[in-house]
């Protein structure tokens, strides 16, 4: 029974934010960096990057020191999960998913304006994008009236 409880605690909701912070990523990776689906869950670490992190000592729960150490080992070992010549850690720092079928985590760019205007990467859900679009459409219609 005790072993079952330990294996069920493999994943951690804090790991994406810790990866973002540790590697100074421009945005937070999604759970599919390591898991089969966005919901994660015990026994779903099947993606190459997740397996590589487990092979380098990553444990479940909220073991942030083990995560930081596994990321350092991933970099030191020069792991390139998708074989594109760029190591996994460098792809993560760039906001990209280093799995063979991975895509950029930070695709959505939201402009900011003012004296120090810039384009800031911001991941957003489809619902947030729809809400923003509806808001802009409403403002445009109001302005015409």
Query: pLDDT tens digits, residue range 71-105?
Result: 999 999 999 999 999 999 999 999 999 999 888 88
Residue 101 lies in a domain: no
Residue 19 vs residues 24, 29, 112, 138, 142: alpha-carbon distances, Å: 8, 8, 25, 38, 43
Per the structure, the count of domains in the chain is 2
pLDDT score, position 62: 81
Residue 102 lies in a domain: no
Assigned token pair, 13: 């909701």
Report how far apart the first and last C-alpha atoms of the chain are (Å, whole number). 67
Above pLDDT 90, what percent of the chain? Answer: 47
Residue 81 lies in a domain: yes
pLDDT band (50, 70, 90) for residue 58:
very high
Contact call for residues 100 and 48 (beta carbons, < 8 A): yes
Residue 126 lies in a domain: yes
Assigned token pair, 15: 């790991």
Assigned token pair, 40: 């994660």
CA distance 143 to 134: 14
83 & 39 share domain: yes
Domain range for 113 is: 109-144
31 & 79 share domain: yes
119 & 89 share domain: no
CA max distance for the chain: 67
Q: What is the pLDDT of residues 114-129, one digit of tens each?
A: 565 444 444 444 455 5
83 & 124 share domain: no
CA distance 44 to 119: 35
Residue 100 lies in a domain: no
Residue 124 lies in a domain: yes
48 & 75 share domain: yes
pLDDT score, position 115: 60
Q: Which of 58, 91, 86 is nearest to 73 (CA)?
A: 58
74 & 40 share domain: yes
Assigned token pair, 59: 């444990």
pLDDT band (50, 70, 90) for residue 138:
low
Residue 11, pLDDT > 80, answer no
């Amino acid at each position: 029974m005790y072993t079952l409880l330990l294996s069920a605690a493999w994943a951690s909701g804090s790991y994406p934010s810790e990866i973002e912070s540790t590697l100074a990523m421009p945005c937070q990776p999604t759970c599919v960096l390591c898991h089969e689906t966005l919901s994660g869950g015990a026994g779903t670490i099947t993606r190459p990057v997740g397996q590589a992190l487990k092979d380098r000592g990553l444990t479940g729960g909220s073991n942030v020191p083990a995560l930081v150490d596994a990321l350092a080992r991933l970099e030191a070992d020069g792991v390139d999960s998708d074989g594109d010549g760029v190591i996994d850690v460098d792809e993560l720092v760039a906001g990209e998913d280093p799995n063979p079928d991975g895509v950029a985590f930070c695709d959505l760019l939201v402009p900011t304006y003012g004296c120090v205007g810039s384009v800031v990467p911001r991941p957003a859900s489809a619902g947030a994008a729809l809400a923003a679009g509806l808001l802009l459409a409403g403002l445009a219609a109001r302005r015409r009236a």
